[in-house]
Structures are given as structure tokens and as C-alpha cells.
Amino acid sequence: MTHWPFIAGAYAVALIATFGLTGWSFAAMRRAEREADSLKDRR
């Protein structure tokens, strides 16, 4: 049995989850901070 498909699958799961989470968190942070800044400007 070749082991490389299992290794590739494991790395794909880990990297997609890690960098997907990072991108999602970054986008949510930028959106929330932009919204807070726009309210400050409107004051």
C-alpha cells in the first residue's frame, strides 16, 4: 500500500483548515475595525 495519498490528504486538511481559519479571522477583523472607524468618523 502506498502511503503518500494519506500523507497528502493529511497535509491538505491541515493547511486548508489553518490558512482558511486565518483568512476568515483576518477578514472578520478588518470588516469589524472598518465599521468601528466609520462610526468614529461620522461623529
Partner 1 sequence: MHIFANPTRFLRLARPLTAWLGWCGALLIALGLGWGLFFAPPDYLQGDTVRILYIHVPAAWLGMAGWAGIAVAGLMQIVWRHPLAGVAARALAVPGAVFTFVCLATGSLWGRPAWGTWWEWDGRMTSMLVLLFLYIGFIALADAERERGGEGRLAAIFGLVGAVNLPVIHYSVLWWRTLHQGQSIGLTRSSIDSSMLWPLFVAAFGFSLLFAAVVLMRMRAALARQKVEARMRRMAA
Residues that bind partner 1 (CB under 8 A): 1, 3-4, 6-7, 9-11, 13-14, 17-18, 21-22, 25-26, 28-29, 31-33, 35-36, 39
Q: How far is CA 19 from the centre of its chain?
A: 5
| CB 1, min distance to partner 1, A | 6
CA distances to 4, 14, 15, 27 from 31, in Å: 40, 26, 24, 6
| CB 14, min distance to partner 1, A | 4
**Cα dihedral 31, 34, 39, 42 sign:** negative
| CB 29, min distance to partner 1, A | 4
